[in-house]
C-alpha cells in the first residue's frame, strides 16, 4: 500500500507539520513556519519565535523585532540602541535615536545650530521669541511659562496683571495670592476690605457706639447687632423701661420680664388691682393671687372650708400638681376683708 506525500507548502494558515496536522501556537498571528511551527510574525508588543515575550516598555508604537527583541523605534523621551537613555529636558519629548540630539526644543529653549539652549533673561516660550510682561519685576519670568518670578509693588498674579487692594497698607500684597501684608487703619481681612470690629462707614472711620455689645456693629450702617444690658434701639442709645424686671429688654424695647403687678410687651399695663400679685406678661391674667382669692382677676374668694387653699383656676379645695393653690384665711379674717 502506497501513501502519497503531502506537500506541506500548501498547509492552510494556522497549521504546520508533515501532514499539516499541528496548529500554530496561539500567540502567532495566525501564521507560522510550515515545517517548525515557529511564528513568522507576532502581535504588536510581543517577540520571540513563540511570541510569548513582551517588548520592552521603552519601545515605541512600532513594537520590537521578532528575532532579537530590539525596539523598532523608541518611546517618546528615550533614545539609544536599547532605548534606555533619556532625551535631555531641553528636547520637546523626541530626540534622535542614534545621537540623542533634540528633534524639537521644549518651551523655554531655542536651537542654536547644534543643541537646545535656555532662553536668555527676559524671554520665554517656544524658540524664546516672547518677551516677559512689563509688570514682571526687573523684566524676569519663567522661561517655559512666562509667569513672572516676582512683581512690582502693588501688583500680583501669574503675569502680575492684578492690582493689590487699595486697602492694603502702602498697596503692598503677596505677588502670588494678592493677600495684603498689612491693612490700613480700620480694616481687616484677606484683601483688607472689611472693617475691623468696632468700626463702620466710609473708609471705616466711624466707631460703633459703646452700648453695642462687644463693641460690634454693622460695618456699613453702624447699627448694633445686640445691646448691652439695660439699653435698646438700632444704636443701643435708649434705656430700657424702668418697669422691666432688672431693667432688661430686647433690642426693640420689649421687656424680657415685668416687675410684679405689670404686663404687656413693655410692661405698660397694670395687672388687675388689689388682690392680683402677678399676672401673665402677654394676657394680663393673674397667676398669683393674695391669700384666699382665686380667678383670672383674683376677685373670687376661696370657700371657708378649704383649709389647705384652693385652685386659682376654679376655686376647688385640695392640692393639685398642675394648678397653683392658695392658703385660705380663717373666717373672721375673710369677713374683715369683705367688709
How would you label 309-328 residue by residue, b for 16+ Cβ within 10 Å and e otherwise?
bbbbeebebeeeeeeebbeb
- Rounded Cα distance between 248 and 271, Å, is 20
pLDDT in the model for residue 5:
52
Helix, strand or coil, per DSSP, at residue 88:
coil
Please classify residue 67 by burial: count the beta carbons closer than 10 Å to its beta carbon, then call 0-12 exposed, 13-18 middle and 19+ buried.
exposed
pTM listed for this prediction: 0.41
Would the pLDDT of 124 be above 60?
A: yes
pLDDT in the model for residue 7:
53
pLDDT in tens, 24-52: 887 777 778 888 888 877 888 888 877 88
55: nearest Cα among 75, 40, 79, 77: 75
136 has which bridge partners?
151
Q: Over range 272-300, report the average pLDDT.
A: 86
Give me the percent of the chain exceeding a pLDDT of 70.
Answer: 90
Average pLDDT score over the chain: 82
- The cell 537613555 sits on which residue? 85
Would the pLDDT of 193 be above 90?
A: no
12: nearest Cα among 24, 1, 25, 28: 24
- More confident: 339 or 268: 268
252 Cβ contact partners less than 8 Å away, ≥ 6 residues apart = 232
- Rounded Cα distance between 112 and 7, Å, is 64
Residue 164, C-alpha cell as written in the block: 493689590
pLDDT in tens, 241-259: 999 999 999 999 999 998 8
Domain ranges of the chain: 197-253, 287-338
Task: Using CA atoms of 194, 177, 174, 118 in order, give the dihedral in degrees to the nearest 10.
Answer: -170
- Rounded Cα distance between 175 and 156, Å, is 4
Q: Over range 92-113, report the average pLDDT.
A: 78
Would the pLDDT of 92 be above 80?
A: no
pLDDT in tens, 53-89: 888 888 888 888 877 888 888 888 888 888 888 887 7
Amino acid at each position: 500500500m502506497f501513501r502519497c506525500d503531502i506537500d506541506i507548502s500548501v498547509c492552510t494558515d494556522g497549521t504546520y507539520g508533515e501532514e499539516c496536522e499541528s496548529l500554530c501556537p496561539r500567540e502567532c498571528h495566525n501564521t507560522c513556519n510550515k515545517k517548525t511551527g515557529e511564528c513568522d510574525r507576532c502581535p504588536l508588543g510581543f517577540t520571540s519565535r513563540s511570541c510569548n515575550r513582551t517588548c520592552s516598555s521603552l519601545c515605541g508604537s512600532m513594537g520590537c523585532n521578532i528575532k532579537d527583541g530590539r525596539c523598532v523605534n523608541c518611546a517618546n523621551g528615550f533614545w539609544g540602541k536599547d532605548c534606555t537613555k533619556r532625551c535631555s529636558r531641553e528636547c520637546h519629548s523626541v530626540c534622535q535615536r542614534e545621537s540623542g540630539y533634540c528633534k524639537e526644543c521644549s518651551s523655554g529653549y531655542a536651537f542654536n545650530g547644534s543643541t537646545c539652549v535656555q532662553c536668555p533673561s527676559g524671554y520665554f516660550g517656544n524658540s524664546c521669541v516672547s518677551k516677559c510682561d512689563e509688570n514682571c519685576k526687573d523684566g524676569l519670568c519663567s522661561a517655559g511659562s512666562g509667569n513672572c518670578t516676582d512683581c512690582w509693588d502693588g501688583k500680583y498674579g501669574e503675569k502680575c496683571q492684578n492690582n493689590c487692594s487699595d486697602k492694603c497698607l502702602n498697596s503692598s500684597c503677596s505677588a502670588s495670592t494678592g493677600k495684603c501684608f498689612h491693612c490700613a487703619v480700620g480694616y481687616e481681612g484677606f484683601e483688607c476690605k472689611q472693617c475691623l470690629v468696632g468700626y463702620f462707614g466710609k473708609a471705616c472711620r466711624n466707631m460703633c457706639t459703646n452700648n453695642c455689645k462687644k463693641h460690634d456693629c454693622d460695618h456699613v450702617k453702624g447699627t448694633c447687632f445686640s445691646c448691652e444690658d439695660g439699653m435698646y434701639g438700632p444704636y443701643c442709645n435708649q434705656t430700657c423701661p424702668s418697669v422691666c424686671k432688672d431693667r432688661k429688654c430686647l433690642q426693640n424695647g420689649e421687656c424680657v420680664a415685668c416687675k410684679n403687678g405689670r404686663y404687656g410687651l413693655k410692661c405698660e399695663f397694670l395687672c388687675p388691682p388689689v388682690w392680683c400679685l402677678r399676672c401673665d406678661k402677654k394676657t394680663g391674667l393673674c397667676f398669683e393671687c393674695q391669700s384666699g382669692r382665686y380667678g383670672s382677676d383674683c376677685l373670687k374668694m376661696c370657700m371657708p372650708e378649704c383649709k389647705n387653699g384652693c385652685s386659682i383656676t376654679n376655686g376647688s379645695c385640695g392640692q393639685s400638681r398642675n394648678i397653683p393653690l392658695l392658703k385660705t384665711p380663717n373666717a373672721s379674717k375673710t369677713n374683715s376683708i369683705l367688709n
